[in-house]
Amino acid sequence: MKILIIGTTGAIGTKVKEALVQRHDIISAGRNSGDIQVDITDAASIEKMFRTINDIDAVVVTAGSSSMESFQTLSEKSLLPAIQSKLLGQVNVVLIGQHYLKDNGSFTLTSGILADEPARDAATGSIVSGAVNSFAMAAAAALKRNLRINVVSPGLAADSAKDIAHLFPGFNPVPMSKLVNAYLKSVEGVITGQVIKVHE
Ligand SMILES: NC(=O)c1ccc[n+]([C@@H]2O[C@H](COP(=O)([O-])OP(=O)(O)OC[C@H]3O[C@@H](n4cnc5c(N)ncnc54)[C@H](OP(=O)(O)O)[C@@H]3O)[C@@H](O)[C@H]2O)c1
């Protein structure tokens, strides 16, 4: 398959790319990294990316950021960057990409454990991850040409634990191999409309 992965230099994207490149043609993308530059917060940039590459069978998004902030100071304004990046960025990759993918193609998005479990100062992550999960459910029912869509919901990735585990007390680091397998199940398998939770 010809697979576009957006976010291949991140903790998760690095490992997903390493696994998929064994068997597939990979095109990597990021703002400042990859074969192609794209900023998923900018719909015109996404459109330009899809116009540049042809015959894509699968798109994997392991990009998107979310911030942490006290609930007492959280505001519409401070929520917006995560909504524009992790939520609308991934939504736009699907809304635009559906017109470019080959028949029977697939999208695999990334949400996170915060959709299901709260953490201190992490309401932003809960909001956007929950919305990404719901978006995929709705999209799976509407996509044409046998296109599939799933979401991988990572717990605390083992490769990120040294940097962020202190922010998520009691969250078990998830082995990277388990996370990678969730992406493989979505890309190479047959399921659609699923949130693949890899929380432990
Ligand atoms: N790591 C964890 O423990 C964990 C747990 C649960 C959920 N998640 C979710 O999993 C996803 C990936 O996490 P991660 O920790 O692997 O991320 P990361 O290390 O911050 O890497 C993000 C990747 O995405 C690219 N990127 C970021 N913003 C972009 C944009 N606007 N347009 C295009 N590319 C962009 C970056 O490359 P450039 O800088 O070149 O753009 C980089 O390759 C995120 O949605 C995160 O919330 C992660």
Give 43 Cα–ligand 1 centroid separation in angstroms. 18
Count other C-beta atoms under 10 Å from residue 179's C-beta: 26
Average pLDDT score over the chain: 98
In this structure, the dihedral spanned by the alpha carbons of residues 137, 26, 5 and 97, taken in order and rounded to 10 degrees, is -60
Could you report the per-residue pLDDT of 33-66, keeping only the tens digit for each? 999 999 999 999 999 999 999 899 999 999 998 9
pLDDT at 8: 98
pLDDT at 49: 98
Which of 31, 61, 88, 90 is the best mutation target for the ligand 1 pocket, counting ligand atoms within 8 Å of the beta carbon and taking the most? 31
Give 56 Cα–ligand 1 centroid separation in angstroms. 21
- Find tokens 């939770």 and name the residue: 197
User: What does R_g of the chain's alpha carbons equal in angstroms?
Assistant: 16
The finding on whether 92 has its CB within 6 A of some atom of ligand 1 is no
111 closest CA partner among 198, 47, 174, 4: 198
pLDDT at 146: 98
Residue 190 — very low, low, confident or very high, per pLDDT cuts 50/70/90? very high
Characterize 23-36 residue by residue with b for buried, 16 or more Cβ atoms within 10 angstroms of its Cβ, and e for exposed.
ebebbbbbbeebeb
Q: What is the spatial distance between Cα 141 and Cα 144, in angstroms, rounded to a whole number?
A: 9
pLDDT at 135: 98
Phi, psi of 48 (to 5 degrees): -60, -40
- Predicted TM-score (pTM) of the model is 0.98
The finding on whether 73 has its CB within 6 A of some atom of ligand 1 is no
pLDDT at 97: 98
The finding on whether 63 has its CB within 6 A of some atom of ligand 1 is yes
The finding on whether 134 has its CB within 6 A of some atom of ligand 1 is no
E strands, the chain, are 2-6, 25-30, 36-37, 58-61, 106-110, 148-154, 195-198
Could you report the per-residue pLDDT of 12-37, keeping only the tens digit for each? 999 999 999 999 999 999 999 999 99
Could you report the per-residue pLDDT of 110-166, keeping only the tens digit for each? 999 999 999 999 999 999 999 999 999 999 999 999 999 999 999 999 999 999 999
pLDDT at 169: 97
Which of 61, 65, 152 is the best mutation target for the ligand 1 pocket, counting ligand atoms within 8 Å of the beta carbon and taking the most? 65
Average pLDDT over residues 171-192: 98
Q: Tell me which amino acid residue 154 is.
A: P
Q: Tell me which amino acid residue 61 is.
A: V
Asked if 85 and 36 count as a contact pair (C-beta separation under 8 A), the reply is: no
pLDDT at 153: 98
Q: Tell me which amino acid residue 135 is.
A: F
Burial label for 50, CB within 10 Å (0-12, 13-18, 19+), is buried
The finding on whether 157 has its CB within 6 A of some atom of ligand 1 is yes
Q: Which domains are present in the chain?
A: 2-198 (3.40.50.720)
The finding on whether 97 has its CB within 6 A of some atom of ligand 1 is no
